[in-house]
Structure 1
């Protein structure tokens, strides 16, 4: 494949582009003080170099769009589109999305995403969702093959287009799983033991950081699996996490920020932190909720809460209690804690009207959205028994694809 230079004569490109992408293109070009034609040229060059395995972008409602390209590039672009079996409109949309991904406005700080998986009701599958979503974020996108049409639904706007392009050009994100539940189920499911009481752990770094000898990142463990390429790590549970609430009551300092104080030291090493939180409404949960708040320099939708629920009435009651805790903490500290979405987990339609009507009520909430309805299947239980990550044990299972769908659904808005 040849590479057309940016200089020299130009020729007209006439195609169509979704309004959302066209608007984002103009805004980003203005931010970077570059011409739209140069931005599109760079995008097409990146598109040609990226290869054919790019996610499909929803081009419904695309409108006429024209710009100028270096002489010869338009013909090369059209030839590539024919060889890849995509329309010119689709190819251009993918190219623009790639350029938007590659270009960042000046002065925009990098903020590590913080996703807290929580519900004070036990047994709703927080651990399975936390582990599965973290695996999906760290997974090499090139290794995903047999997704269904529903699983790979085309992105509907510019932000999902950006994420689609990111998934195509990145080899997965650097993800840290934090087992913040004193029961340690997440650690056990991945073949690890909880850190014994008295040894350095997340808890000692929260309550007695000045007395610790190691960096917190050194306490993390790489999760095995070729699909993750060493990008997925876990901070194991600590046995003395059972005593965290009582320790926080006598903590000298802002106890609501104790978790953030500890995890701040690892943020530079990772792109995303996913926390499997305890099934409680105590002080430890306060620290997790506070950590998930939207920071002053952070875009909405970057960080927040992911809430697994079940399709039954007691789960709705527990969710109401969580909302009260979120509202109370938000008022006390004048912060915004965003709910990124709900996951209706372990769904079984054979349970009849209670299950189906409860599922429909969750979906009808609208905000926060239901990101996925995860059916109760055997692969997750088998992965737990074998102490393997679900996406490594059964990467093409329906549950694995649903975890990827959840990860895609938590988009930056």
Structure 2
């Protein structure tokens, strides 16, 4: 069965796109058939995986409004995952979808076309809580919330969690909140641990392991049109490989989901 995982946080700069791209590549390396979906009109995932959004004839926008099928706009990437790309046209999809009944279900209906062709589908949600993010959460089986380990980064997490609960109550009862994924993590500082401890205590939300370390390798990989897993070995690449193994073990029923204690020694 296909597992659909949304990566969402209405705050920008928390490594949502990096997580989708790198986790997708790590899952593909574990022989999973992976589709990644760019739901952000800024099209950062599309660009970081080696495609120019300004030169694409079709994107997820046309899929959502029903003009084309998913298979017609899928692209290959260097890391062995398939990409459903975004273009700036996606910015107009919100207005178009708002006028349609069942607008939150547009992505779910579209993904039914490729059900069974992929083991894992990862959705890069935009940094907002609008119709596009609601589509991502409604289509997903589970959601991960990347959280930058810096002051005030957790502001808005409560609002996102309320949105998740609303989606669970109204459009997608099966949606599972897997937890918060620490990103830009610096294990040398107590500040990073304090931020995660505050989130864990305040929202009673699991913190997924391993935390993703801060490294320049992510920016270098995005500029090259591939993920950090394609380059030299790095702590960031290994962290996403470990996260992928953690999730696969959980999805396959072979292990519990491994979580991280901010104050463990």
Residue 195 (structure 1) shift: 5.8
Deviation at 1:389, TM superposition (A): 1.8
Aligned to 1:222: 76
Q: Is the 8 A contact 1:116 1:305 kept in 2?
A: yes
Q: Distance in 1 between matches of 2:55 and 2:20?
A: 23
CA distance in 1, matches of 2:242, 2:222: 21
Give the drift of 1:123. 0.4
Q: What is the TM-score when the length of structure 2 is the normalising length?
A: 0.86
SS at match of 2:53: coil
Give the structure, 1 or 2, with the largest relative contact order (CA under 8 Å, sep 6 or more): 2
Residue equivalent to 1:318: 156
5+ residue gaps, structure 2: 254-265
Q: CA deviation at 1:383?
A: 0.9
8 Å CA contact 1:196–1:240 kept in 2: the answer is no
Distance in 2 of aligned mates of 1:307 and 1:331? 19
Q: Which residue of 2 aligns with 1:306?
A: 144
TM-fit CA distance, 1:368? 2.6
User: Across the two proteins, how many residue pairs are aligned to each other?
Assistant: 249
What is the Cα deviation at residue 363 of structure 1? 5.4
Q: In the alignment, which residue of structure 2 is the partner of 1:131? A: 21
Indicate whether 1:399 and 2:248 are aligned: no
257, 268, 286: which is aligned to 2:116? 268
> In 2, distance between residues paired with 1:385 and 1:249?
35
Q: How far did residue 324 of structure 1 move?
A: 1.2
Q: 1:116 corresponds to which residue?
A: 6
Residue 204 of structure 1, aligned match among 62, 68, 71: 62
Query: In structure 2, do the counterparts of structure 1 residues 196 and 388 end up closer, same or farther at CA, with 3 Å as the change threshold?
Result: closer
Query: What is the alpha-carbon distance in structure 2 between the residues aligned to residue 347 and residue 380 of structure 1?
Result: 13
Note closer, same or farther for the CA distance 1:195–1:115 as it changes in structure 2 (3 Å cut).
Answer: farther
Q: Kindly state the Cα deviation for residue 391 of structure 1 after the two structures are TM-superposed.
A: 0.7
Instruction: Encode CA deviations 1:314-358: one digit per residue, 9 max, x unaligned.
Output: 2222211101111222223471321123211011356x4433311
Let me know the Cα RMSD of the aligned residues: 2.1
Contact 1:196 1:239 in 2 (8 A): no
Q: Within 2, Cα distance between the matches of 1:361 and 1:385?
A: 34
- Scaled by the length of structure 1, the TM-score of the pair is 0.56
Q: Which residue matches 2:97?
A: 248
Tell me: CA distance 1:195–1:177, structure 2 relative to 1, closer, same or farther (3 Å): farther
What is aligned with 1:368?
A: 206
CA drift at 1:219: 1.3
